[in-house]
Structure 1
């Protein structure tokens, strides 16, 4: 069981991270499943939009700790993670996200690849990469400054400050902030609005609005190399040791 569900209806594919007991901390198996679903949706001519959702109270708490420790031993992000990130970049269908609750790490950086983000008022956004002795991923070092501006991107990705939904809205990270229980319903409305548009014109418009894919993929690879080096470094090892000590 990968804790990822996928359902397509009415031109919309709904991909849900469903590991509520771990606040949707992503395992390598979950990354692989999401990559496969995104690729399948991208190749399905009947689909016009993809909606990425979590569970009430949690969009994604980032990487699963055990998988992250294993990654630090092997020294890399892991092929399933890179597969997922490349599938995000390669998806021609508009991506809508419904965020309710915590969004941490990749739970934030994947939003930079979404075309419309709806978040609940209780949602929070944090990317504690530097605090863990690491660097940003998912091309967030490229897309973050372009979307948020360099200063706000520094605040989020370098200082690792936690943003509430209101701050995320004012910074441009999300499109809509609504009451908690209406988050997914609003995201579905947006996805259906997309399906009502001419699909070819929509696909071309998305491509024109998005950064050059080769540039984004190159930045993903560049970040992955830095990430790999940092995972093996003393700062990350010290941070992981301190984290595990606190957990115990």
Structure 2
């Protein structure tokens, strides 16, 4: 795995909650009964998987002990063709085709701010209400995200029109839960949220930002590219 790919995946593990995280032979095994996200309930492989059969057996035992379906995050996809083919042959189906993207904080900060953006230190009631207003169902366990973290609300005339979450690990800041009210899409709201988050992240010691965007959301990808984000790697999940 290249340096950037590896750093992004390590930062993603550090900034997104899982109630159980185990490390075994380079694998990161994650489970969170309170959170339905695949990232919190999947196994992340090491750079090299010399024995897929033995490795997947161990993954399946980990999830069986928790009465959960085994999920493998095949990341980066272009380096795990053998593992991916093995999982397919074992009956694992593909879900969640995704691209990881990254950008320097300074580049994202380059444009002027067009909307008021408020940053809160936790998933406070005002942020949870804002998330629902813009059409994003708030997820449980958001209070498990490690500090430093900020929950952003974009406002127009006091009304929430966009949200996002920013969590820092070392010199990386992960971006999660971006959402814009349907009436305000393609009007710069997401950019305003990202710039506010980048400004805070820079002050918290981060130099680079990363996010994940599903491949069936080209509009979001174009928005991020316009703000200076470039692709790092692709991945998908295999679910049995």
Q: Rg: which structure is higher?
A: 2
- Under TM normalisation by the shorter chain, which class is it? under 0.3
Higher strand share: 2
Considering Cα pairs closer than 8 Å and 6+ residues apart, tell me whether 1 or 2 has the greater RCO.
Answer: 2
Q: TM-score, normalised by structure 2?
A: 0.23
Q: TM-score, normalised by structure 1?
A: 0.22
